[in-house]
Amino acid sequence: MAKKIRLYVGTYTVPLSFVSGSGKGIYTAVFDQDSGEISDVKLAAYDISNPSYLTIAPGRRCLYAVQETVGGRTPAVYAYRMDARGGALQYLNHQPAHGGAPCHLTLDKNEKHVISAHYVTGSVAVHPILPDGRLEPATDIAHHEGKGANPERQESPHAHIARFDPSGRFLFVADLGIDKVIIYRYDGEKGRLYPHEQPFAAVQPGAGPRHLAFHPSGSHAFVINELDSTVSVFSHRDGRLKHQQTISTLPDADPHAPYSCAAIRVSANGKYVYGSNRGHDSIAIFAFDAASGKLKAIGHEPTGGKTPRELNLDPSGRWLLAGNQDSDTITTFRINPANGLLKSNGISTPMPNPVCLAFVEM
């Protein structure tokens, strides 16, 4: 019998300079882990504007989403209860995000707090979770300072992702505007963030760090840089990052091409790293050598769509899904376990502005 799991999709519902805003809210679907087919697509929640990023608390059967707005509706973090059968989302409550254009959020490993990153204001907020899944007012708000080398995109801080290391003790925030990964010590009892003894790790000027992912062992962090289409590799120990390598995500390594990076994912076995190239519309594939702590480019796979904003691996580790923001499709690729390379299964599922893909057991 085919193994099926639920997929939730975040979208943009309001037209912006970089997106059509063709979505209607948060969508849900069923993903077949044998065939890679996506079916039963339907709207799960429509009472939220620009739910561009989602995170799931499986133990609570709750989903949390950002409302990525600046003016109009207040930038916020929303809480929903997931219906186990049909995937519908029941609104619980929402809290102000305390920052402009919240674009990412994550959970601590004990599902006690939601941490959101805010692009416009370069800030991070911590919201406690009540026993019934609702959100409480923020217990901490951290603001970044500075600017970067690119006057058009780095005129101020732009926090783009907040990610815990596997231990859950440290929070890392990639800030596109200041070319830094800001490092915090996390107090899970008080819901507070404190500067680490190493307060940040820098990438090359003008790189624009956007997203990051950890090796499953926690030994390394991989930072994908939006503005110069590179990946920076850092060794990691006790919240400290040490730069190991910077490698291009493009086959021609042309830093002046009109491309940009978005998402980065690491295979469950830690052997392969995948990054999305927008404009080039491809997935960069790397093999990771744990001994040297470096990546080796091993291929580029066309996404079969425009502007791959999101990549995600299904829980089985056999499939990679690409959310193509500007062609309104999700494309599915089978992962070769022997070499990490990708092969399309020929399925392209219509989906308006898919910009976040989140899996959960049904």
Cα gap 310→356, rounded to integer Å: 6
Torsion of CA 274, 162, 332, 249, to 10 degrees: -30
Domain annotation covers residue 152: yes
pLDDT at 84 (0 to 100): 77
Q: Which amino acid is at 282?
A: S
Taking alpha carbons only, the member of 110, 73, 109, 119 closest to residue 94 is 73
Paired tokens of 151:
């006057």
Domain annotation covers residue 217: yes
What are the residues facing 257 on neighbouring strands?
Answer: none
pLDDT at 258 (0 to 100): 85
pLDDT at 2 (0 to 100): 65
| Mean pLDDT along residues 215-236 | 98
**Residues in the chain, overall count:** 362
Q: Which residue do the tokens 């990023």 mark?
A: 53
Kindly report, residue by residue over 246-270, the tens digit of the pLDDT: 999 999 766 567 899 999 999 999 9
Kindly report, residue by residue over 339-356, the tens digit of the pLDDT: 999 999 999 999 999 999
Q: Do the Cβ atoms of 166 and 214 come closer than 8 Å?
A: yes
Number of other residues whose CB lies within 10 A of the CB of residue 291? 5
Kindly report, residue by residue over 82-133, the tens digit of the pLDDT: 997 899 999 999 999 999 999 999 999 999 999 999 999 999 999 999 999 9
**What CATH number should be reported for the domain holding residue 283?**
2.130.10.10
Buried b (16+ CB within 10 A) or exposed e, 239-255: bebeebbbbbbbeeeee
Domain annotation covers residue 161: yes
> What's the domain count of the chain?
1
Looking at the predicted structure, is the pLDDT value of residue 1 above 60?
A: no
* pLDDT grade for 214, boundaries at 50, 70 and 90: very high
Domain annotation covers residue 321: no
pLDDT at 254 (0 to 100): 62
**DSSP per residue over 116-185, as a string?**
EEETTTTEEEEEEB-TTSPBPPPSEEEE-----S-TTT-SS--EEEEEE-TTSSEEEEEETTTTEEEEEE
Looking at the predicted structure, is the pLDDT value of residue 146 above 80?
A: yes
Average pLDDT over all residues of the chain: 96
Domain annotation covers residue 207: yes
Kindly report, residue by residue over 8-33, the tens digit of the pLDDT: 999 999 999 999 999 999 999 999 99
Domain annotation covers residue 247: yes
Integer-rounded Cα radius of gyration of the chain:
19
Which residues span the domain enclosing 281? 148-302
- Widest CA span of the chain, in angstroms? 55
pLDDT at 267 (0 to 100): 98
pLDDT at 48 (0 to 100): 97
Domain annotation covers residue 119: no
* pLDDT grade for 289, boundaries at 50, 70 and 90: very high
Domain annotation covers residue 31: no
